[in-house]
Structure 1
């Protein structure tokens, strides 16, 4: 690893045992509210960085070859496509890949990484400056490939987040709607050019209803996972 990356690594403080604390926090909240939560805010899949779906690993970064480079080539390569991506977010993404490698078995991690490569390739080809994709602009054949990968990878994200599989707690019809809601949410972010949850009032009036329904459905799934 070059000296620039080492300097950036040394600046980032990684919370100790955040993965286990997150599980304890969920259990405590469920206990205090009789096993139910009105709302548990958990950000969803951000394909470029995955800040939403994987917890940080324990301890410090090791100075080793970056797993993220296997998917994006290098930070500089990703930066050419998503100019708002920072070195810190790239290194955190790599840390989350390290955590996934530790939490998943060898075969599971291989499958997870293969699925993830579908998204990272799509980010390089179609992502905006924030790494979000307007899926309405993606060729139909490519979109179907991404959608198929999303179907298979979401349970991995659930597992790594200490949550029950959304694919198991939902019916087939509900799971289909859930995947579509994820695409709708990210497409709206891409169309608005934002990197965080958009203000509904900033969304064109003709698209507001669709976005609100998607947002409400993501909350519904989140609540259902917490209750199980």
Structure 2
């Protein structure tokens, strides 16, 4: 427990750094193709990404739940150049897992909120699936933020974690969602393809490096806190 308290203290220290700039209220999530990238366990947030590879032969393509969100893999590929069929099948597997663990009403609530985010991905996402939330209409951005508050606990559970909402104060949880959005916004601005491997801060444009580092450290602290509770 002492270590958990230390992480909470570190989290609040990072919050003091992350909160002040107005821009930090707009920003990001990100993708992860490995269990640990720059120290984060995996990608969570508002866009279910491949956490493991599932042979495509394991599924009958006609009945994918993912098609209900995106229409088809071909449609995703039109918008996200780095999308893979394996990742799409993994998304479907995660949706099936969610549907199996939730009651009908809860799953419909989850799916409705997820629809908001996937629609935004297709409409505003760049070729790598990242959204620059700074360019999004204010109302749309706030809608995504609100839906992310609802969805993040589900993503945490599907990843086998204690929901971040239960571990953080209300203020910290809001900062966490904002940090995930900030993270993605920086990736979009810098035109980063996360499928190519870990992000090296020094290779980002200089004007984004400090903000990215603060945001990354803040998110990492939350993931460490979850790791302690596993």
Q: Shared fold by TM > 0.5?
A: yes
Q: Deviations over 1:27-85 (max 9, x none)?
A: xxxxxxx999x997312236455235x997xxx43555111111111112222211221
Coordinate RMSD, CA, aligned: 2.8
1:179 aligned residue (177, 180, 184): 177
Tell me how far apart the structure 2 counterparts of residues 191 and 75 of structure 1 sit (CA, whole Å): 25
Q: Deviations over 1:132-172 (max 9, x none)?
A: 11111111110000000001100111111221111111011
User: Greater Rg, structure 1 or structure 2?
Assistant: 1
Tell me how far apart the structure 1 counterparts of residues 46 and 75 of structure 2 sit (CA, whole Å): 16
Contact kept, 8 Å, 1:66 with 1:94, in 2: the verdict is yes
Q: How do residues 102-141 of structure 1 correspond to structure 2 at under 5 angstroms?
A: 102-141=100-139
Q: Which sections of structure 1, spanning at least 5 residues, go unmatched?
A: 1-33
Tell me how far apart the structure 2 counterparts of residues 139 and 41 of structure 1 sit (CA, whole Å): 30
Tell me how far apart the structure 1 counterparts of residues 153 and 48 of structure 2 sit (CA, whole Å): 18
1:195 aligned residue (182, 193, 214): 193
- Residue 216 of structure 2 is matched in structure 1 by 215
SS in structure 1 of the partner of residue 63 of structure 2: coil
TM-score normalised over the length of structure 2 = 0.74
- Residue 67 of structure 1 is matched in structure 2 by 65
Tell me how far apart the structure 1 counterparts of residues 147 and 46 of structure 2 sit (CA, whole Å): 12
- Are 1:42 and 2:46 matched, yes or no? no
Q: Deviations over 1:178-213 (max 9, x none)?
A: 111101111122122223242111222222111111
TM-score normalised over the length of structure 1 = 0.75
TM-superposed deviation, 1:224: 1.2
Contact kept, 8 Å, 1:159 with 1:165, in 2: the verdict is yes
- Residue 15 of structure 1 is matched in structure 2 by none
Tell me how far apart the structure 2 counterparts of residues 204 and 35 of structure 1 sit (CA, whole Å): 34
Tell me how far apart the structure 1 counterparts of residues 218 and 53 of structure 2 sit (CA, whole Å): 23
Q: CA 1:128–1:47 in structure 2 vs 1: closer, same or farther (change >3 Å)?
A: farther
SS in structure 2 of the partner of residue 226 of structure 1: helix
- Residue 27 of structure 1 is matched in structure 2 by none
Q: Which sections of structure 2, spanning at least 5 residues, go unmatched?
A: 8-35
- Residue 21 of structure 2 is matched in structure 1 by none
